[in-house]
Amino acid sequence: MASSKLIAVAFLSSLMALHAPMTTAANSNLFRDYIGAIFNGVRFTDVPINPRVRFDFILAFVIDYTTATEPPTPTNGQFNIFWQSSILTPSAVASIKQSNPNVRVAVSLGGATVNNRPVFFNITSVDSWVQNAVSSLTGIIQRYNLDGIDIDYEQFQVDPATFAECVGRLVTALKRSGVIRFASIAPFDNADVQRHYQALWASYGSVIDYVNFQFYAYSASTTEAQYVSHFDDQIANYPGGNILASFTTAPTTTSVPINTSLNACRTLQAQGKLYGIFIWAADHSRSQGFRFDTQAQELLANAPSY
């Protein structure tokens, strides 16, 4: 009789665990910096690296477009390098990782523009895009000894379900083969963008490690309290996800101010929600002496718990 009760309790416990809501990560010390898109000569070694954070450089970008045509045209998953590869070389990747054991290097797919023309997620077919993407990205990732990928398509010529299937199968294949160890997505609060990325999350969220949400895309009038509210909205939109706060160091008057963002990060950390911070981008930060990159890392390094 006692054993029957134990079995029943164990069974009920397993059911409760199965249907329990996913929990969002607590404070952590992950810092991420995009680099290489502006072609201003910024190097990995220019960026201060706090040894007490986990630090990801994200090369921006690889794009499945060719500039052999005018305007540039999509290449159905055949990715080409569009970061400043004359500076951010395979040997530079190897050197920064050897000098800093806490550093990983990833590459971002897509972006907003190529040669000042919009980049669209465009495919011939799901199977051909996935096959081409796996092959071309494997070559680039292995050549540069990269650790992960970031998905940053911002404009689409496919429906959300097709985008989800393509990207989800790509990430799954690269992880299964051991080519990458982590993957992130980089949505922002635009209805079409959210439809595509939430479809991806719904079908393949289990293979996506981080959500690099572009909070700086909100207006310059955003307050600290509104930033925190927007953060909570994304916890709901990407349930169970490791949501990163963010700001941009680009010279702009239309984005959320940096100090507002940092104050919101402090509030989120006090609430136990600050998994990490990413910045767009090291290229812009260089002219400011990387002071905001340094401040963000200090905040994460001093997290109450992670």
Q: Which is catalytic among the residues 70, 154, 165, 298? A: 154
In a domain, 136, yes or no: yes
Give the pLDDT confidence score for residue 198 in this predicted structure: 98
Q: How many Cβ atoms from other residues are within 10 Å of residue 290's Cβ?
A: 20
In a domain, 16, yes or no: no
Cα separation of 205 and 241, whole Å?
8
Q: How many Cβ atoms from other residues are within 10 Å of residue 5's Cβ?
A: 9
In a domain, 17, yes or no: no
Q: Are 152 and 61 in contact (CB under 8 A)?
A: yes
Give the pLDDT confidence score for residue 1 in this predicted structure: 38
In a domain, 15, yes or no: no
Q: Are 282 and 252 in contact (CB under 8 A)?
A: no
Instruction: Look up residue 220 and give its two tokens.
Output: 């310059």
In a domain, 6, yes or no: no
Give the pLDDT confidence score for residue 303 in this predicted structure: 82
In a domain, 283, yes or no: yes
The list of the chain residues with pLDDT below 70 reads 1-25, 305-306
Parent domain of 109: 30-302
Number of domains in the chain: 1
- Give the whole-number percent of the chain exceeding pLDDT 70: 91
Q: Are 47 and 292 in contact (CB under 8 A)?
A: no
Domain CATH number, residue 101: 3.20.20.80
Give the pLDDT confidence score for residue 16 in this predicted structure: 37
Task: Return the beta strands (E) in 158-264 as ranges.
Answer: 182-185, 210-212, 243-248
In a domain, 84, yes or no: yes
Q: How many Cβ atoms from other residues are within 10 Å of residue 231's Cβ?
A: 22
Name the pTM for this structure. 0.92
Cα separation of 183 and 246, whole Å?
17
Largest CA distance in the chain: 78
In a domain, 57, yes or no: yes
Q: Are 164 and 171 in contact (CB under 8 A)?
A: no
Q: Does residue 154 have an active-site annotation?
A: yes
Q: Find tokens 């680039």 and name the residue.
A: 140
